[in-house]
Every structure is written in structure tokens, then in C-alpha cells.
Structure 1
Amino acid sequence: MPVFLYVLALAVFAQGTSEFMLSGLVPGIARDLSVSVGAAASLTSAYAIGMIVGAPVMAALSARWPRRRALAGFLTAFVVVHVIGAVTTDFAVLFGTRVVAAIVNAGFLAVAMSVATALVPGERRGRATAVLLSGVTLSCVAGVPAGALLGDWSGWRSAFWAVAALCLPALALVFRRAPADAAGREEVSVRREARALRSRPVRWAMVLAAVVNGATFATFAYLAVIATDIAHLPAAAVPALLAAFGVGAFAGVTTAGRTADGGLGRGLLLALCVLPVGWALLAVTSPYPAPLFVVTIVQGGLSFGIGSTLVARVMHVAPQAPSLGGSFATVALNAGAFLGPLTAGAATGATGDYRDAAWVSAALAATAVAAVAASRAGVARAGVGEAG
């Protein structure tokens, strides 16, 4: 694989760390900026808003931009908003920086994907894409716990400074090594691809992805406070719990990548059925550290494995939307990441019990299971009717 591909993966790792690290920084942000835990947790939703807005727009706009200028511009903006976030004392400003960071993150990913596939022969493009996106799952394993640990040692602002610093080597190499020409792709027909995305199978896959990811982030945004307030673990243990979730997520994505074919296979359906049970089990066992760690690993694997399989499903049923299919799958995932923490925040705010975030996850996952069951039953009835 070309060395520059790993430069792009480093930037994606930093961006993934930024997206997910808020879970471990919520208590510190809430104390320092004098806001509620629910408000601080909504910063996860702020990032999701930016990705929802940015992914399809940037995928279309950046298709013909000079790649070096686009990559450098997006990454520079990403560094700047993290510096602003690190120094602000205004929660509204911090919220705004998360939205902008997500928009430029979406833009960077759109261009980086085109660069990654252009750097290698056609038969190696799948592997190149996997290398690029490995930065996201590795951020769950290493970047997010490291950010939480750094936040515990030096305050949450230091984690923002660290993300900005982590981007600088990648930014320098982008200026030196990124292709200077335009993306070289045919003009994206937004209208034509948007029509392809309106089909029922595509919409159904995106709804499922949104609901499953909503379940994931409803609890993920509250893992730190569940660990400290419910399990009564020391703050120093939070990075280890986040790392446990990340290890599970990495294993789930790896397994799904080897077995998923874009269909609603038996393995996916079984994992979907287990998912709400696991979230309910996390709610019940959260006061007990050892079971909490075990269930967190399992749920990380199930959630990210199912999520990545549903993304593959979107791409499988939308072959006429090669440019926008992936970006709209990202929109679906981030719609869930936006609504999940908000729903959990409403529930925990009403009851004062952070375990209710896991019950919200269980309810959302159960909704996904019920939706799949209803859909399959409808298909079966249609088949019987046609046969009759």
C-alpha cells in the first residue's frame, strides 16, 4: 500500500478520536462549563449534526476540487476549530466547533476516499478503503481511551489540543505528497443518484442503520458517568472501559467485514435479536464492574458489527448511487448518533438514573428487531398471496 494512504489513515484516526472522545470527557466538560451532564453529552449529537449535513453536501461539492487543496483545507479547518474548542469558556461556542469539525471531517473523508482508490490498481481498491477506514475503528480502541486518560490527568481541554497536534504531521505530509490535480471523477449527477436512493430497500436499510446506531450512542455517550456514578469506579478506570468497548467494536467490524455480503443473512438477524438483550443486561449489571466490562465488550462488537453490515447493505442495494450511497449511509448512522444521546438525555434527565440510557438503547434495538420481523412477515405474506 502507498505510504500516503497511511498518512490519510492517520488523519482519519485523529478525526475518529475527536468524534468519539466526548464520551470520556462529559463529566469534566459539565463541571468546567457549568452545564448539565445531559447538555455536555449532547456534544456527541452536535458532531452527528455536522456529519449529517456535511456528508452528502461535501460528497457532491468536492468531486471536482483539486485534491491537495481540498485535503489541506479541510484538515486545516479541523485543526483550527479544535484549538478554538480547547480555549473557549462558552458552551455554545464549543457546541458550534463540534458541528463545524464534523462538516470538515465529512469533506476530508469524501476527498480521501477518492484519493485512496486512485492510488492503487482496481483490484486493490477494497483493501485501500479498508486501510483508510481502519483509522475510525482504531480510534475506538486507542484514541478514545487515550483522550479520556489525558482528560483525567490534565483536563478535557488537553484532549482537544492533542487531537489538533495529531493532525499536524498528516497536514504537513498532505502539503508535500497529496496529488495536486482534480479528483478526475466524472461529474456527479446528484439528481440521478438521489433518485436511486429513494428505493424502498435503500430507505429501509438506512432506517435500520439509524435506529441501531441510535441505540449504540444512547449508551456510549453515558459510559463515563455510568462507570463513575453507577459502578462507582474511579475516574482513572473510564479509559479502560472505553478501550473495552473499542476492542469489541474492532472485533465486530473485522468479523463483519469478512462475512457480510450486503444481504440480511442469518448472522445479522441473530445479532440483531441479541442486541436489545445485551443493552438490557448492561442496564442491570452496570453497578457491578466486572460484568459491566464484559457486556461493554460484547455490545461494542455487536453494535459496530451490525452497523458496518448495514452500511454494506446500503451500498449493495444502491449500485446506481456510487458517489452518494456511502455518504447517505453515513447520514443514517449519524442521524442515530444524534437522536440516541438526545433521547437518553431526556430519559436520564427525567429520572436522574444514568442506567436509563442503556434501557433507551434496549428499546431502540428492540424497535429495529420488530421492524425487521414485520418486514419479513410482510414479504412472506406477499409471496403467499402471489402463489395463491
Structure 2
Amino acid sequence: MKKSLLALTLGGLGIGITEFVMMGLLPDIAKDLTISIPQAGHLISAYALGVVIGAPLLVAITGSYPPKKILMVLMLMFVTFNALSAFAPDYTFMFIARLLAGLPHGAFFGVGSVVASRIAEKGKEAQSVSLMFAGLTIANILGVPLGTYIGHNFSWRYTFVIIVIVGLITLLSIKLWMPALPATKDRNLKKEMGFFKLPEAWLIIFMIAIGTGGLFSWYSYIAPLLTEVGGFSDNSITYILALAGLGMLVGNFIGGRLADKFSPAKASVALLVLMAIALVIIHYISYSQPLALLMTFITGAISFALASPIQMLMINTAKGSEMIAASVSQASFNIGNALGAFLGGLPLAAGYDYTSPVWVGALMALIGAAFAWMLIAMNKRKAALKLELAV
């Protein structure tokens, strides 16, 4: 692996820990800040809101600077705001700190994706991008379980100190290893924002927000699904989540190869359909512990196999607006996070059991696949029209 890609992987690791470890730390944070667990859950929403706001905004503001400098500034913001979280004295301060910590998330992956694709070997752009997203999967295998353990047994504030240390190492790695790629010349922000006028752009945004929301309809309620339906002990959930993270790591690299071998759009359709099938299977096999473990790994693999195809789809669609487009995909992913958790909770609120959210997730994944299929059809029509005009 190139050292420059390793720096991006480290960034993904730090961001992955700070995003996903909150699910495991909610009881500890709620107790320390004397708030309810549902109120502590708002801290997850605050981070997602920060991602949605910061992704296009920060890229728009910083896009005319060299990518290396942009990544360093974003990681400095990441370190600063997570440090504030570690010392938060009350709920309001913590909410604001989490909102601010989410700001650089999407922009980092947006700029990082473009950098990764530029320094990749020809024909291996998606695989190069997948190396950056590998940091997210490693976070789910090692960082999140470790951070949860530290939070439970010592203090959740120490977990954020570790996140800050990972951020500082990433910052140093970017400074030492990242090549000094040139800034975009003659940048026209108004022209770049024209990306949002493209119908293809909105098809991809809807595909991500709704399709990947299917993942979170399942993943948001995986703990009660495994304990209440599968009969697993509470202590085993950390290890099962690590198994899901291992599946995500494997799937992440498979997705990069699929996107390079076929096309990002075709890979997205296939993977979203497979996700829907996997979620339906989960509904029927959750009562069997061996099969539940197997499907946890497989579904994790399918879900993160989407990461690289989706990012490359955005980059390829937005010629001249690559950084904004790639950051918007991360904002869309976090909308999917909130949407999937909300819609997946509706059948639970209606009195159905913990297997019911996966039906919502399967439907969302199929709707996402439909948007991807519409994108393929639109591109075919445009290609045919160009051919006619050329003749």
C-alpha cells in the first residue's frame, strides 16, 4: 500500500470510531451528563447533521486550495472538536461539540476520494478509494469495540482522547506522506454547483439516501434483534459487532474490485438487490444463532461493498465538480443513517417484533436499486443520442 493511501486509511479509522462508537457509549454518557438515553441519542443525530452541513459547505469553501492542505485543515478540525467532546461539561456543550465534529467528515472523504483516484494506477481507481474506506471497517472491527470497552470500564472521555490521538497521527501522516497535488486551476464555484442541476446527481443522491438507509434499518436495531430474538447475551454483542465489522472489511475490498471490473452503477444495482435479499433472510433465520452470525457477516460485507462503487459513481458523474460530489455522497449516506433508523423504528413502535425493521430495510434497498437502474437507463439513452447526433 502507498503511504499516501495509508494516511487516508488512518483518517477513515479515526472518523469511523468517532461516528460509530457513540452507539456503545450512550449509557455511559447519559449517566455522566445526567440525561436520559434517548436524549443522549440526539448526540448521534447531531453528528449526522454536522456531516450533512459540512460536506458540501467545506468543500465549496476550501476547494481552490491544494488537496493536501485541505485534508490537513479538515483533520485539524476533527482533532479540535473531538477534544472538546472529551471535556464536555454538560449536554448542550456535548451536542454542539458533536455537531462541529461531524463537519469535516464528509469533506474529508470527498477530497480523499478524489486524491485516492488521482494517485491510483489506471483501472484501479475504485480499489484505491476502497483502501481509504477500509479505515471505517477497521474502526468497526477494532476501534469501536475497544472504545466501548474503555468507556464502560474506565471513562467514555478516554475514548475521545484516543480518537484525538488517532487524528493527530493522521495529521502527521498526511503532512509527511501525502503528495503535493496541484490545486484546481481557474475554479468556478458557480459552475461546480451546477452539479446539483444534473438529474443524474439526484438519482445518485436518492439511491444513496434511501438504498443505504436499508442497512441502518437493520444495523440500528441489531443489538435487540440478537438478544431478544436470537437469544445472545448482552456481553456477546460487542464481539458480534466486530464480526459485522470484519464482514464490512472484506466487502469493502470486493466492492472496489467489482466497480473496476464492471461499472460503479451496475455494481450498485447488484449489491443493493443482494442487500434486500440478505435482509429478508435475516427475518427468517434470526432465531438460529449460527445462521444469525453467518448473516451478520454477509450483510456487513454486502453493505460496505457499496462504499467504493457509490463514491466512484459520484466522481464519474460530476466531471469538474468531483470533490463536491464525493462529499455529497457522504452527506447522503448520513441521511440514510437517520432515515433508516427512523423508518425501521416505525414497525417497532406499532408493536411488531425486532425482526420487523429488516422488511423496511429490504424495501429501501430495492428502491435504491431502482434509482441506480434508472441512472443506467438514462446514461444509455444519452449515449445513444450522442451516437445519433454524431452520425
In 1: Cα distance, 2:354 partner to 2:377 partner? 36
Aligned to 1:213: 212
Aligned to 2:385: none
In 2: Cα distance, 1:338 partner to 1:241 partner? 22
Give the secondary-structure state (helix, strand or coil) at the position aligned to 1:296. helix
Tell me by how many angstroms 1:58 deviates.
1.4
Aligned to 2:192: 193
Aligned to 1:14: 14
Please give the root-mean-square deviation of Cα atoms over the aligned residues, in Å. Answer: 3.8
Aligned to 1:384: none
What one-letter code is carried by the residue in structure 1 that aligns with 2:61? Answer: L
In 2: Cα distance, 1:305 partner to 1:39 partner? 33
In 2: Cα distance, 1:111 partner to 1:6 partner? 15
Q: Indicate how the Cα distance of structure 1 residues 252 and 18 shifts in structure 2: closer, same or farther if over 3 A, else same.
A: same
Aligned to 1:280: 280
In 2: Cα distance, 1:347 partner to 1:33 partner? 31
What one-letter code is carried by the residue in structure 2 that aligns with 1:281? Answer: I
Structure 1 contact 58–110 (Cα < 8 Å) conserved: no
Q: Indicate how the Cα distance of structure 1 residues 184 and 150 shifts in structure 2: closer, same or farther if over 3 A, else same.
A: same
Aligned to 2:238: 239
Aligned to 2:325: 325
In 2: Cα distance, 1:219 partner to 1:210 partner? 15
Q: Indicate how the Cα distance of structure 1 residues 347 and 298 shifts in structure 2: closer, same or farther if over 3 A, else same.
A: same
In 2: Cα distance, 1:208 partner to 1:287 partner? 31
Tell me by how many angstroms 1:258 deviates.
0.8
In 2: Cα distance, 1:176 partner to 1:44 partner? 33
Aligned to 2:100: 100
Tell me by how many angstroms 1:296 deviates.
1.3
Q: Indicate how the Cα distance of structure 1 residues 38 and 275 shifts in structure 2: closer, same or farther if over 3 A, else same.
A: farther
Structure 1 contact 41–222 (Cα < 8 Å) conserved: no
Q: How does 1:85-164 map to 2 (within 5 A)?
A: 85-88=85-88, 90-110=90-110, 112=112, 120=119, 123=122, 126=125, 129-164=129-164
What one-letter code is carried by the residue in structure 2 that aligns with 1:137? Answer: T
In 1: Cα distance, 2:379 partner to 2:175 partner? 53
Tell me by how many angstroms 1:241 deviates.
1.4
In 1: Cα distance, 2:209 partner to 2:8 partner? 27
TM-score of the aligned structures, taking structure 2 as reference length? 0.79
1:222 has 2:221 as partner: yes
Aligned to 2:343: 343
What one-letter code is carried by the residue in structure 2 that aligns with 1:212? Answer: G
Structure 2 contact 268–372 (Cα < 8 Å) conserved: no
Instruction: Encode CA deviations 1:17-70: one digit per residue, 9 max, x unaligned.
Output: 212222333444455556555544444333222121111111121123466765
Q: Indicate how the Cα distance of structure 1 residues 155 and 75 shifts in structure 2: closer, same or farther if over 3 A, else same.
A: same
Query: Which structure 2 segments of 5+ residues have no match?
Result: 381-391
Tell me by how many angstroms 1:207 deviates.
0.8
In 1: Cα distance, 2:12 partner to 2:216 partner? 20
Give the secondary-structure state (helix, strand or coil) at the position aligned to 1:11. helix
Q: Indicate how the Cα distance of structure 1 residues 354 and 97 shifts in structure 2: closer, same or farther if over 3 A, else same.
A: farther
Structure 1 contact 56–328 (Cα < 8 Å) conserved: yes
Q: Indicate how the Cα distance of structure 1 residues 67 and 81 shifts in structure 2: closer, same or farther if over 3 A, else same.
A: same
Instruction: Encode CA deviations 1:139-167: one digit per residue, 9 max, x unaligned.
Output: 23322233233334335433222212222
Give the secondary-structure state (helix, strand or coil) at the position aligned to 1:88. coil
What one-letter code is carried by the residue in structure 2 that aligns with 1:195? Answer: G
Tell me by how many angstroms 1:244 deviates.
1.6
In 2: Cα distance, 1:107 partner to 1:293 partner? 34
Tell me by how many angstroms 1:199 deviates.
2.2
Structure 1 contact 23–224 (Cα < 8 Å) conserved: no
In 1: Cα distance, 2:356 partner to 2:187 partner? 44
Q: Indicate how the Cα distance of structure 1 residues 247 and 102 shifts in structure 2: closer, same or farther if over 3 A, else same.
A: same
Q: Indicate how the Cα distance of structure 1 residues 73 and 264 shifts in structure 2: closer, same or farther if over 3 A, else same.
A: closer
In 1: Cα distance, 2:322 partner to 2:372 partner? 25
Structure 1 contact 14–139 (Cα < 8 Å) conserved: yes
Structure 1 contact 54–103 (Cα < 8 Å) conserved: yes
Q: Indicate how the Cα distance of structure 1 residues 368 and 315 shifts in structure 2: closer, same or farther if over 3 A, else same.
A: same
What one-letter code is carried by the residue in structure 1 that aligns with 2:55? Answer: A
Give the secondary-structure state (helix, strand or coil) at the position aligned to 2:135. helix
Aligned to 1:363: 363
What one-letter code is carried by the residue in structure 1 that aligns with 2:200? Answer: P
Instruction: Encode CA deviations 1:174-227: one digit per residue, 9 max, x unaligned.
Output: 566777x89532243232233234222232122111112211123323333444
Tell me by how many angstroms 1:287 deviates.
4.8
TM-score of the aligned structures, taking structure 1 as reference length? 0.80
Aligned to 2:383: none
What one-letter code is carried by the residue in structure 1 that aligns with 2:158? Answer: S
Q: Indicate how the Cα distance of structure 1 residues 348 and 36 shifts in structure 2: closer, same or farther if over 3 A, else same.
A: farther
Structure 1 contact 196–318 (Cα < 8 Å) conserved: yes
Aligned to 1:252: 251
More off after superposition, 55-64 vs 124-133:
124-133
Aligned to 1:47: 47
Aligned to 1:262: 263
Tell me by how many angstroms 1:14 deviates.
0.9
What one-letter code is carried by the residue in structure 1 that aligns with 2:240? Answer: L
Q: Indicate how the Cα distance of structure 1 residues 312 and 377 shifts in structure 2: closer, same or farther if over 3 A, else same.
A: closer
Q: How does 1:293-312 map to 2 (within 5 A)?
A: 293-312=293-312
What one-letter code is carried by the residue in structure 2 that aligns with 1:203? Answer: W
What one-letter code is carried by the residue in structure 1 that aligns with 2:105? Answer: N
